[in-house]
A = this chain, B = another copy of it.
Amino acid sequence: MPQLRIALAQTNPSVGDLSANAGKLVEWTRRSADRGAHLVVFTEMFLTGYPVEDLVLRTSFVDASIATLSAAAARLADEGLGELPVVVGYVDRSGVTPRAGQPKGAPLDAAALLHRGRVVTKTAKHHLPNYGVFDEYRYFIRGDRLPIFRLHGVDVAIAVCEDLWQDGGPVAAVARAGAGLLVVPNASPYEREKDDVRLSLCVNRAREAGCALAYANQVGGQDELIFDGDSIVVDAAGELVARAGQFREELLVTDLELPLADPLATFGSFPVDAGDGTTITVERLRLSDDPLPAYTPEPPAVAPHLDDLEEVYSALVLGVRDYFTKNGFRSVILGLSGGIDSALTATIAADAVGPERVHVVLMPSRHSSDHSVSDARDLVERQGLNSRLVPIEDIVDAFEKQIDLSGLAAENLQARVRGMLLMGLSNEHGHLVLTTGNKSELATGYSTLYGDSAGGFAPIKDVLKTTVWQLSRWRNAQAGRESELLHRFDAPPIPENSITKEPSAELRPGQRDTDSLPPYDVLDRLLADYVEHDMGKGELVAAGHDPELVARIIRLVDLAEYKRRQYPPGPKITPKNFGRDRRLPITNRWRETADS
């Protein structure tokens, strides 16, 4: 059987930075050529980064993507890489005139085949995900083509990401048209405990398509989304052949033996029923007919999967690092209370950007215990962070001289004074403010708007309190280890006392979290079912949660949810306003003003 050496470029693009991404395309193509690859596959929308949200509705942005693609094809040839075929994702524009309600400019989530300086063929995602974090009916026109190109005697088909996840469409068309390999550029975000659904998916679709499948996934943080890589190659029988690591860039090079294409097959275009009520146009084209001379394959790389806690910790570090780096920050600042949430946040930050760029502020109040400051100082010394002490009592007094506040209003005031101090230092010195709230307290509303929630990035906002403790212990157990995602701390970086002491917000005398909340192991199981699994009250009780607690926590969560709005809403009177109506990525290097 003919052989092919496939290189999957599991890379970390920057949203909107088309020229940097194009540079990376050339660099990784050269690395692939150096490794003797016969085909390189980049990720979904690699040239623009993914997701780009409302940027795609700008004519100038789509124009730039298309121009960058052509220029990249020419540049690859100029730099002597034109003979190596490259499959890469970008944003294109459909020829159709959008119907009422379809996106302006008719954008496509496209992938192209580049060869000998030219864009040889292109396709676009057929199934548009519009659930969870995806809104693609808002952004794209559905693709209806399946290119199959012959390379060294092997027929290679191209489909994009979601086309693997839904039935019918391009994969069904591959099964009918026949191919030896299906390559799939992806941008599939990390999610905890997915149970290796991605591998099962590749296995099932390879069997359905009747050919080997090479799945190249994006890596890196993009605002809230963390792409974890984990690129996969399976053979036609659905056996795992190769797998890239998680949360790191990697060139996954794999030798495959693939079936010889039917020499009598006709080139050109023909329609195929896609099995989902639509018709896909299959386009067969030829790069090269003759199989390569036989060569000795390299042993395939199969990276082991990380265990659960390392996965989560890695996702958090990468998320902070990419938000920090891609937005051009040089330092972070956070409040350190001596408690476990800020201790873990500081540690993640130190791993992400280096302890020398982490600034912490100790802001004790009249209600702070002695160990607040001593535990915080212990952490500062263990990690070598920059620290300062700013007692807040005098400022709180100045407020209370002007207005009378009691109960929760007085507790909130303390949290807001701390938030203002951090924001003031951030405005003065350019630090990125990290907030330290965990998911359990954010979910139940134990957080102050404009107080502890004030900041630019929230590293542990999706981490339940019980997981905060687990991650802290896990991180301490890695003392002495160093990796791309772990700074080398010879001693455990988090003081044991911060892990073991009873949690308290210390906003009034003797306050403890359990005064108003159930034990965290009980609370967190309930929050996972209500928030993450979207169970209703009846389902929660049926799942064994205490009915009274269910009613109480649902009330808290729903109330907190309604209060947790950032910029306040206001009456909308124009076609486009800010907020939901005009959605742009925060981490984004595209500058409309640069297209002069």
Tell me the A residues contacting B by CB distance below 8 Å. Answer: 57-60, 99-104, 127, 129-133, 135, 137-138, 162, 165-167, 189-192, 221, 223-226, 312, 315-316, 318-320, 323, 390-392, 394-395, 397-399, 401-406, 408-409, 412-413, 416-417, 419-421, 423-425, 427-428, 433, 435, 439, 442-443, 449-450, 453-463, 528, 531-534, 536-539, 550-551, 554-555, 558, 561-562, 564-582, 584, 586, 588, 591-593, 595-596
Whether the pair A588, B562 counts as a contact (CB closer than 8 A) is yes
Query: A261 CB to closest chain B CB, in angstroms?
Result: 31
Query: A408 CB to closest chain B CB, in angstroms?
Result: 6
The answer for the CA separation of A226 and B569 in the assembled complex, in Å, is 12
Q: Which residues of B contact A408 (CB under 8 A)?
A: 427
Whether the pair B558, A578 counts as a contact (CB closer than 8 A) is no
Whether the pair A167, B566 counts as a contact (CB closer than 8 A) is no
A-B complex: 9 closest residue pairs judged by Cβ atoms = A566-B566, A319-B571, A458-B570, A409-B427, A461-B570, A398-B398, A60-B536, A130-B137, A409-B428
Whether the pair A574, B191 counts as a contact (CB closer than 8 A) is yes
Contact of A538 among B132, B463, B595 (CB under 8 A): B595
The answer for the CA separation of A569 and B460 in the assembled complex, in Å, is 10
Whether the pair B573, A463 counts as a contact (CB closer than 8 A) is yes
Whether the pair B536, A462 counts as a contact (CB closer than 8 A) is no
Q: Which residues of B contact A528 (CB under 8 A)?
A: 574
Query: A266 CB to closest chain B CB, in angstroms?
Result: 28
The answer for the CA separation of A579 and B439 in the assembled complex, in Å, is 12
Whether the pair A224, B458 counts as a contact (CB closer than 8 A) is no
Whether the pair A395, B405 counts as a contact (CB closer than 8 A) is no
Whether the pair B453, A572 counts as a contact (CB closer than 8 A) is no
Question: Known contacts being A424-B413, A581-B133, is A538 close to B60, with CB within 8 Å?
Answer: yes
Whether the pair A390, B403 counts as a contact (CB closer than 8 A) is yes
Q: Which residues of B contact A575 (CB under 8 A)?
A: 132, 191, 532-533
Q: Which residues of B contact A403 (CB under 8 A)?
A: 390, 421, 424-425, 428
Query: A577 CB to closest chain B CB, in angstroms?
Result: 5
Given contacts A130-B130, A189-B572, A565-B566, 7 further A-B contacts (CB under 8 A): A101-B127, A405-B427, A416-B420, A449-B454, A461-B570, A536-B592, A561-B578
Whether the pair B568, A456 counts as a contact (CB closer than 8 A) is yes
Whether the pair B428, A423 counts as a contact (CB closer than 8 A) is no
Whether the pair B428, A458 counts as a contact (CB closer than 8 A) is no
Nearest residue (CB) in B for A194 is: B575
Whether the pair B554, A593 counts as a contact (CB closer than 8 A) is yes
Can you list 28 A-B contacts with CB-CB less than 8 angstroms, sorted by A residue number? A59-B539, A99-B166, A101-B127, A101-B130, A135-B138, A190-B573, A224-B577, A319-B571, A394-B398, A398-B398, A399-B424, A405-B428, A409-B424, A409-B427, A413-B420, A416-B450, A419-B450, A433-B568, A435-B570, A455-B568, A456-B568, A458-B570, A459-B570, A461-B570, A462-B572, A538-B595, A551-B596, A566-B567
Residue in A103, A536, A568, A570 with the greatest tally of chain B CB atoms within 10 Å: A570
Q: Which residues of B contact A425 (CB under 8 A)?
A: 403
Whether the pair A428, B404 counts as a contact (CB closer than 8 A) is yes
Q: Which residues of B contact A562 (CB under 8 A)?
A: 584, 586, 588
Q: Which residues of B contact A579 (CB under 8 A)?
A: 224, 564
Nearest residue (CB) in B for A412 is: B427
Query: A347 CB to closest chain B CB, in angstroms?
Result: 15
The answer for the CA separation of A538 and B59 in the assembled complex, in Å, is 10
Q: Which residues of B contact A455 (CB under 8 A)?
A: 568
Query: A336 CB to closest chain B CB, in angstroms?
Result: 16
Q: Which residues of B contact A582 (CB under 8 A)?
A: 531, 561
